[in-house]
Chains A and B, each alone.
Chain A
């Protein structure tokens, strides 16, 4: 499989701030705060120097085992990685609470082994598969992707996994398989916030089959070289980097091939705000906020959002489609 990387990515390495200039965000903020405090408390005693934040190594995730990564591909224009601590403590995973900090606090109750994934629908080789059996045939690779949330913040994350297409082909989708639907786990015993009913559960997402077969569509089992933390959608999740984050279902327990466009959770509860496609598009605003720019976590000012989140290689999938209508 050939994945072309740098030539297609619109951000040139020369545009990126050298690391030496790129001050650490916390120090920068600390200095900024210092200036503000200086104004407010002019003449007061010196403020404390910034203390290092709790490092990733101190968290429970430190115990997560490392994965055997065969290949690494940089696919985010050499942009600075979002720190592990931020990737794992700023999550949208409503089954564990709606606050961004909730999943890291609450997802400890998720049991990721044993884990079974059911494959059904329009395919020749359906079945129930133990997760480890499911993953085993695939060589794990690392891909650094941008992640753009529909809420207009974004990260750069080194995911570990394998191409979704390689997985789906094993189940021999038939000619009626026009779409693929993904179901997340919905177990109120493990996911305490399910009973609040903020969303209709189980969380469901879906892709058109050609989207799912695109080489960028990625099945994720880890990040930063280690097993995926629960709050990031362990033990297995989707990542479609050219789409808003809500398209990438977490903690997948069922994959279904369908002939008609499957129901997807956010689209079902708010079709005007969340389309089936969910492609990152700076031209099409969310009805309540702009999608033209985004806040990259770790940067102070917003930056322009790129069409397809900077992955123009997926554009042919949507040739001839009105992307204002199919948002």
Chain B
């Protein structure tokens, strides 16, 4: 298979994989299978998938350097945009049902109160806000126009991911196992990017097929 065909296939798989949870959620909604608290179910499920795709988008760079494959980097935009789609849907459920969009004035006051008083909402909102310019500037055109600044701007993904995981940690009542699992995965993905060339170099050299240069300057 040609590299172009392989990339096309990989993209198609990402689309199928990313759309499946949403399709399942729509199926549950249509069939009334969202449990006793449907709004909470929607919020939780959309939130879970937001974090999962966000972490997956951050895992593609380490995957590229560990495997030597280049296709993971080409999937980052697709995965990242899907993560943002889930975040937007998650946020929309909160706005529509938690704040009650039918009463916009009260909803706005409530949003302001939540942003000031509830730290988990503050950080969740901040994460959404950090990712907004990244989604807007995700096109080839913006990438060209911003040149080097594009890369700097897109480093906002790191604080956004940290805030997203914090959002989850802070809203859980007691059982922290799941949010801490996300936190642990995020920590590994972020530490991988830490500039400790010796450690990383050793890991990369230990690979059986050293196809990628050990210190790849294009890695983020």
Binding site for B on A (CB under 8 A): 25-27, 29-30, 32-34, 36-37, 40, 47-48, 50-51, 53, 82, 85-86, 89-90, 94, 98, 100-101, 151, 153, 196, 198-199, 269, 285, 288-290, 295, 297, 300-302
Contact = CB atoms under 8 A, between A and B. Distances in A.
Contacts of A40: 26
Which of B31, B36, B39, B102 has its CB near the most chain A CB atoms (within 10 A)?
B36
Given A32-B29, A290-B118, A100 B97 contact: no
Give the dominant DSSP class at A's interface. loop
A48 B37 contact: no
Nearest to B22: A40
Given A86-B36, A101-B35, A198-B174, A33 B114 contact: no
Nearest to B89: A36
22 contacts: A25-B32, A29-B32, A29-B38, A34-B30, A48-B31, A50-B30, A50-B32, A51-B31, A82-B36, A94-B175, A98-B174, A101-B35, A198-B174, A269-B174, A288-B118, A290-B113, A295-B37, A295-B40, A297-B36, A297-B37, A301-B97, A301-B102
A198 B26 contact: no
B70 interface: no
Given A288-B171, A300-B97, A301-B100, A153 B40 contact: yes
B126 to A, nearest CB: 16
B35 A90 contact: yes
B125 interface: no
A51 B32 contact: yes
Leading 4 A-B pairs by shortest Cβ distance: A26-B32, A33-B29, A90-B36, A86-B36
A36 B40 contact: no
A295 B97 CA distance: 10
Contacts, number: 83
A153 B30 CA distance: 23
A29 B118 contact: no
Contacts of B31: 30, 48, 50-51
Which of B30, B100, B120 has its CB near the most chain A CB atoms (within 10 A)?
B30
B102 A36 contact: no
B172 to A, nearest CB: 9
Nearest to A54: B33
Contacts of B98: 302
A153 B114 CA distance: 17
Contact of B34 (A29, A94, A198): A29
Contacts of A33: 26, 29-30
Interface string B87-111: 0000000000110101000000000
B119 interface: yes
Interface in B166-195: 170-171, 173-175
A44 to B, nearest CB: 11
Contact of B173 (A48, A82, A101, A151): A151
